[in-house]
Amino acid sequence: MTERLEQEVGAAATGADPRSLKREFDSEPATVDTTAQNSAPAQAEASTPKRARFDDAKEKWERRDRRGTGRVPDDTSSSADPSSSTGGDRLPKRKVAVKFGYCGIGYSGLQINPGVKTIEGDIFQAFCTAGAVSADNAVNPNKVGLQRAARTDRGVHAAGNLLSLKLILQPDGLQEGETLVDRVNALLPEFIRVWGVTRVQNGFSARQSCDSRMYEYLLPTYVFVPPKPGSTMHDMLVRMRDDELAKTGATTLGDVVDHAFWKQHGTTHDFSTDMRAKTAFRLSASALARIRSIFARYLGSHNFHNFTVGKEFRDRSCQRFMKQLTISDPTVIGETEWVSIKFHGQSFMLHQIRKMIGLLVLVGRTGAGEGLVDECFGPARVHIPKAPGLGLLLEQPIFDAYNTRIRNNNDKIAKLMRKKASSDQKDSAPESAHRDAGRNSTLHDELRESISYAPHAAAMQQFKQQWIYDRIHSTEQDTYEFGKWLNYLDVFQGPDFEFLNPKGVIPPQCIVKVGEFHRDNLRRARESQLGGKEGGGSEQQRQQQQDDDDDDEDHEAYSKKGAELDEYEG
C-alpha cells in the first residue's frame, strides 16, 4: 500500500493521472496498515501541487474561446505549450490604465465580440504577443479584468479612449531603451495607437471611475438643405404648409418647401448630380443660429429614452446629464463645408449621440418647431433615426474624481515619507536606517499618477488629423454617406415623421411601441434611395449589408436588460 501511495503522489507531482495507476493495483492483494491508511491521504494531498489538481478545469476554460477571436485554441497554441509561462517563473501583473486611440473604419466596433474584427481584439492580441499577458490569461480577457471607459459602435473613432486591465509591465525580451508601449505599437496597425500605460489603484475601473466623456461629431452643412421636391418628406411638408395656411392664413414653411437651393439647382437631376451641387452649399448665419438654439435644448438633465434602443420612459437609467454642448463656425474642407459638434456629458447610451444628431438635422432642415426636442424627453416614444457613425469620434474620457483622490493620497504618502526621512536623520543606527529605507520603498510603490491625456496632446492631434479627420472627409467625398442617409429619410414611407410640424407636437400616429421595428419601411426606403444612385450592384449590396448590420445590433440590444445593456453604453 505504501508503494502504491508513493506512486500516486509521484504521478500527481508530474501531472499524470493517478487513476491509471490505481487500476494496476486493483487486482493486487494488499494488507491494510491502519497507520499508513490514516496518514497517507493527508501526505498525498499535501504533496500534490495545486496546479496539477486543476489541470482539467483549466483545459475546459481554454476551450471556451473567451478572447473573442472566433477560433478554438488547439494544442499548438501558446496557451497549450508546457514551456510557456506556466512552466517558468511567474512575472508580476499590475493594474494599469491603457490610453489609446483608433480609426474605427473597417471594424465592428470597439468591444471584443466573438467571431468579428474589433479594436479591443487587436489590442488584446498585441499585448499577448508582446508578453504583457501570460499564456494562461491570453485565452480570456476577463482573466485580466479587461474593461473600457467608453464603448464605440461600428465605424466610430476615438482620439482617446481607455482600458483597465492587469498587465506584465516588464515582459521578457524588451530591448534596452524599449518600453512596453513601443513594443505594442510595433505590433498594431498605424491607425491604432497606444498613447501610454499608467499604474492605477487596484480598485480602479475604466467604466465606473470615469466621470464624463467628451465626443465630437463632424457634420457637413449640406445636411440642412430641405428635402428634395417630389420626395415623400417634401410632400408631407407641403401638406403641413397648406393646412397651416388654411387655418391661420400664414405659414412658417414657405422657405422650406420652396428653398432657394432647389430653385437654383433644379429638381430633375440624379443623386450624383444633386450631391455635387450640395457640396457647394454654405450655411447662412441665421440658419446656424437656429441650429445652435435647437442643440442647446439638450443641455442639462433629461430623459433620453427616445435616443437609444430597448429602454422605456420609466427606466431611471435614461436620465442623462449634458454638461456642455457646442457647435463650431463652419469650415470649408476640400469643396464641402463642415461644422464640428462637441458633446460633454456624464455618460451616453447606445446610439444616443447619433440620434441626437439625427433629431437636430430633422428639425433644422424641415422647419419643425424647436419645442419638439423637449417633447422627445417626454413619455411618448417616437422613431428618431441614427445619423451615420462616420462622423462620430470619442475625444477622451475624464477621470476628475479619481485624479483628485490620487493627488490627496499622494500628498499623504509624501508626508509620511518626509516624516520617516526626518526620523532617519535623528536615528543613525544601521538597523533603523535599513528598516526605514524599506518602509519608504514600500510607500513609494503606493504612489500613482493621475490619468491625463495632456502629455500626448500633440501626438493625438496629429493622429486625429491623419487617421480620423482626413478619412472622414475623404470617405464622405467618395461615398456620400450623409447624402445617402438623407435620401433614405426623404423617401421613408409611413407616419413616423409627422412630428416634424411647425408646432413641434407629437401626434398619436407617430407614437411607436418599445421594441417595435420598422425594418420593412426602412428597407423599402433604402432600396428606393439606392435605386436612384448611379453605380454597380456591389455598392448597393455593401450599403444594404451595413444597414442590416445596424439593424441587427439594435435587435440584439432590445434583448438586453439591466446591467447587460450597460455594456452597450459609451
Distance, in Å, from the CA atom of 71 to the CA atom of 74, rounded to the nearest integer, reads: 9
CB 154, CB 107: distance < 8 Å: yes
Residue in the block written with cell 422627445: 376
Distance, in Å, from the CA atom of 328 to the CA atom of 326, rounded to the nearest integer, reads: 6
Torsion angle of alpha carbons 191, 196, 197, 198, nearest 10°?
-140
Distance, in Å, from the CA atom of 147 to the CA atom of 165, rounded to the nearest integer, reads: 7
Distance, in Å, from the CA atom of 452 to the CA atom of 172, rounded to the nearest integer, reads: 28
Distance, in Å, from the CA atom of 498 to the CA atom of 509, rounded to the nearest integer, reads: 8
Instruction: Identify the helix (H) or strand (E) that includes residue 104.
Output: none
Contacts of 557 (CB under 8 A, 6+ apart): 309, 310, 350, 565, 568
Distance, in Å, from the CA atom of 68 to the CA atom of 119, rounded to the nearest integer, reads: 11
Residues annotated as catalytic are 153
Report whether 102 belongs to an annotated binding site: no
Question: What DSSP letter does each residue of 329-376 carry, written as one string?
Answer: PPEEETTEEEEEEEEEES---TTHHHHHHHHHHHHHHHT--TTHHHHT
Helix (H, G, I), strand (E, B) or coil at 457: helix
Binding residues, as ranges, are: 215
Q: Could you tell me which residues are annotated as the binding site for substrate?
A: 215
